[in-house]
Amino acid sequence: MYLDKATFESRLKDLRALMEEASVDYVLVPPGPNFFYLTGMITESMERLALLIIGKDSQVVVCPDLMKQQVMEETPVDNIKTWLDGEDPYNLASKVLSKKGKIAIEGSVPYFHYERMEKFLSGMAVSADPLFQEMRITKDHSELSNISEAIARSEKALTNSLPELKTGIMEKEFSRILENNFYEEDLSGPAFPSIVSFGPNSAMPHHSPDNTKLKSGDTIVIDYGGSYRGYASDSTRTFFWKKEDPEMHTILETVREANETVRKEARRTTKYSEMDSLARKIITDAGYGDKFIHRLGHGLGIQVHEPPFLVGTDTRTMIKNSVFTIEPGIYIQGKGGVRIEDTNYFDGERCISFNKMSRSAIVL
């Protein structure tokens, strides 16, 4: 169990305060990120109905009987109502929701479950997502510690993997080496499928590793991250194999300047949208504005992508202890791309990177 009882009770208290503000009587949470956030149990939604139901003065897990022991051992929840295969779990859930009122449903509830619950929602259902977004955007000490550890162990895994690069190795081969090293560093596995791209493939931000072989002069982009105690890491570094193309070196220095300047200039009055604008100005002034084809960054925590988002539409002022990536990139189709990504947090005064690995141009 990753969540101690004091944190469990504190998060329930915070959620209930938000429920009261929104005049919500119940919150329904399926297995997934918010279930983990509230209980410490990592599990995914499935065809058998499982729900954490939070009321104004109650918390109940409704789940198949086969999950009962796991819930007892891995969560602080002590009120568990179970059902057997062949029984109607939706009827059981409706009995927990005995006091009719406004019900907030977390957005990852599968539609086939929602469809069966509509009969007792009585037209009072609203989204619970804004409640959880407000809670989770500010990380507590244990969350910051877990993210920091995820990044440190992931960086070590990459450092230990780089000597395995050799001319002729395929992208997918190196991806497997890297991900195996996550386990060697006691990570629970990849937080997302690793991106390994050689040469022209590096111009695709989300390229899937394939049979492309490494050759002299290639740009290498590695976007990677492991998971530690339920929290993700997400970093990207760009290297050159044997020799560097002069233009790609210039591009890397531009991207590095954007990455480091945005972090250095962040203040308590800075908006997330302004961070994106500053990076975009630096890259545009260098002549590559139309080659920066994605937002500057995204929040990170239990999920690899979560609020806040460093994009023109997120005009919130930076929130203390929010965690987010800064990942400017320039992509030249047919030639290659560069991305440098760090995961950062805002301590209330300045932006601090968790990453320790160099951002400089490195020829391997």
Residues 130 and 159 grouped into a single domain: no
232 occurs within a structural domain:
yes
Last residue of a domain, one of 93, 119, 136: 136
Calpha distance 13→1 (Å, rounded): 20
169 occurs within a structural domain:
yes
361 occurs within a structural domain:
no
- The whole-number average pLDDT for the span 304-325 is 98
Task: Identify residue 281 by its one-letter amino acid code.
Answer: K
pLDDT given for residue 226 in this prediction: 98
Rounded to 5°, angle at Cα 60 from 7 and 28: 90
Calpha distance 43→39 (Å, rounded): 11
- The whole-number average pLDDT for the span 88-97 is 92
362 occurs within a structural domain:
no
Go through 84-121 and write b for each residue having 16 or more CB atoms within 10 A of its CB, e for each that does not. Answer: eeeeebbebbbebbeeeebbbbbeebeeebeeebeeeb
329 occurs within a structural domain:
yes
**Residue whose C-alpha is closest to residue 204's, from 336, 361, 327, 342:** 336
Cis link prior to 307 (omega < 30° from 0)?
no
**Residue whose C-alpha is closest to residue 49's, from 95, 3, 87, 104:** 87
Residues 32 and 172 grouped into a single domain: no
Residues 54 and 184 grouped into a single domain: no
Q: Is 342 helix (H, G, I), strand (E, B) or coil?
A: strand
Total residues found in the chain within this entry:
364
The residues facing 359 across adjacent strands are none
Last residue of a domain, one of 85, 116, 136: 136
**Residue whose C-alpha is closest to residue 35's, from 58, 70, 61, 56:** 61
Last residue of a domain, one of 102, 119, 136: 136
Residues 70 and 182 grouped into a single domain: no
Residues 230 and 130 grouped into a single domain: no
Calpha distance 319→33 (Å, rounded): 21
255 occurs within a structural domain:
yes
- The whole-number average pLDDT for the span 27-50 is 94
Rounded to 5°, angle at Cα 256 from 351 and 174: 105
For residue 169, give both structure tokens: 């190795």
For residue 283, give both structure tokens: 């890259």
Asked if pLDDT for residue 1 goes beyond 70, the answer is no
276 occurs within a structural domain:
yes
Per-residue pLDDT tens digits for 192-212: 999 999 999 999 999 999 999
With contact defined as beta carbons under 8 Å apart, do 148 and 226 qualify?
no
**CA end-to-end span of the chain:** 42
- The whole-number average pLDDT for the span 245-262 is 98
With contact defined as beta carbons under 8 Å apart, do 75 and 9 qualify?
no
pLDDT confidence bin for 12, thresholds 50/70/90 = very high
Calpha distance 34→52 (Å, rounded): 10
Check which CATH number belongs to the domain holding 168 and give it: 3.90.230.10
Residues 225 and 295 grouped into a single domain: yes
pLDDT given for residue 46 in this prediction: 87
With contact defined as beta carbons under 8 Å apart, do 244 and 231 qualify?
no
Residues 14 and 66 grouped into a single domain: yes
Calpha distance 310→119 (Å, rounded): 40
171 occurs within a structural domain:
yes
pLDDT given for residue 341 in this prediction: 98
Phi, psi of 248 (to 5 degrees): -65, -35
The DSSP symbol for 318 reads P
Q: How many domains is the chain built from? A: 2
pLDDT given for residue 101 in this prediction: 83
Q: Is 223 helix (H, G, I), strand (E, B) or coil?
A: strand
Residue showing tokens 């005049």: 23
pLDDT given for residue 118 in this prediction: 85
Q: Chain-wide mean pLDDT for the chain? A: 96
Residues 75 and 203 grouped into a single domain: no
Full domain range(s) for residue 305: 141-353
CA 323 to each of CA 53, 59, 257: distance values in angstroms, whole numbers, following the listed order: 28, 29, 21
Residues 294 and 147 grouped into a single domain: yes
Per-residue pLDDT tens digits for 125-158: 899 999 999 999 999 999 999 999 999 999 999 9
| Residue 264 burial by Cβ neighbours in a 10 Å radius (0-12, 13-18, 19+) | exposed
Residues 29 and 160 grouped into a single domain: no
Per-residue pLDDT tens digits for 232-251: 999 999 999 999 999 999 99
Per-residue pLDDT tens digits for 315-359: 999 999 999 999 999 999 999 999 999 999 999 999 999 999 999
- The whole-number average pLDDT for the span 307-311 is 98
CA dihedral sign of residues 34, 270, 309, 199: negative
Check which CATH number belongs to the domain holding 123 and give it: 3.40.350.10
Residues 37 and 163 grouped into a single domain: no
**Residue whose C-alpha is closest to residue 351's, from 280, 302, 279:** 279
Per-residue pLDDT tens digits for 98-119: 777 899 999 999 999 999 988 8
Residues 280 and 293 grouped into a single domain: yes
Asked if pLDDT for residue 180 goes beyond 90, the answer is yes
